[in-house]
Structures are given as structure tokens and as C-alpha cells.
Amino acid sequence: MILVNSAEFATHQEKYFNLALNEQVFIKDGQHTFIFTKAPEKKLLKPDADFYRAISMEEFERRALLIVDKLDQKYA
């Protein structure tokens, strides 16, 4: 754990980016303290069958409006 003030962080950003790869860096800015650390790697998935079966937003909107119209006619 490393604690630095915001001016030090701004001056030596590359140093603290490298440190954040292995440990948490705390940046103090007045009354606030921020944690600067490396986020976990996100694995990007390839599209699966569900993705290819999905409808477009335009198709969803068209179907939703049909349902709303039917409900409106039924209860109006």
C-alpha cells in the first residue's frame, strides 16, 4: 500500500501506474482519498447462439407497440 498526495501523483503518474500493477495506491486529495489499483482482466466472450437468436431493438419496439395497442383496445 502506497499513500501519495494528488500533486505527487500528477507529477509521477507513470511511476504510480506501474506500482498499481502489483499493489494498491492511495491518492489523498484534500479531505478525500482515492484507491488506484489495477482492475481485473475482463474476458471477452464470442457471440453464442443466444446472441444470434436475439431480435433487434427496432423489432422489439415494433412488437412492444403492438402489444400496447392491443391492451389499449382491450381496456379502453
Is residue 39 within 8 A of residue 15, CB to CB? The reply is no
Structural domain that includes position 21: 2-36
Question: Within a domain: residue 64?
Answer: no
Statement: residue 45 has pLDDT above 90: no
Question: Within a domain: residue 21?
Answer: yes
Question: Within a domain: residue 30?
Answer: yes
* Helix (DSSP H) and strand (DSSP E) numbers for the chain: 4, 3
pLDDT at 41: 87
Alpha helix (H) ranges present in the chain?
6-11, 13-19, 49-53, 57-75
Question: Within a domain: residue 19?
Answer: yes
Number of structural domains in the chain: 1
Question: Within a domain: residue 20?
Answer: yes
pLDDT at 44: 87
Question: Within a domain: residue 66?
Answer: no
Question: Within a domain: residue 41?
Answer: no
Question: Within a domain: residue 47?
Answer: no
Confirm whether pTM is higher than 0.85: no
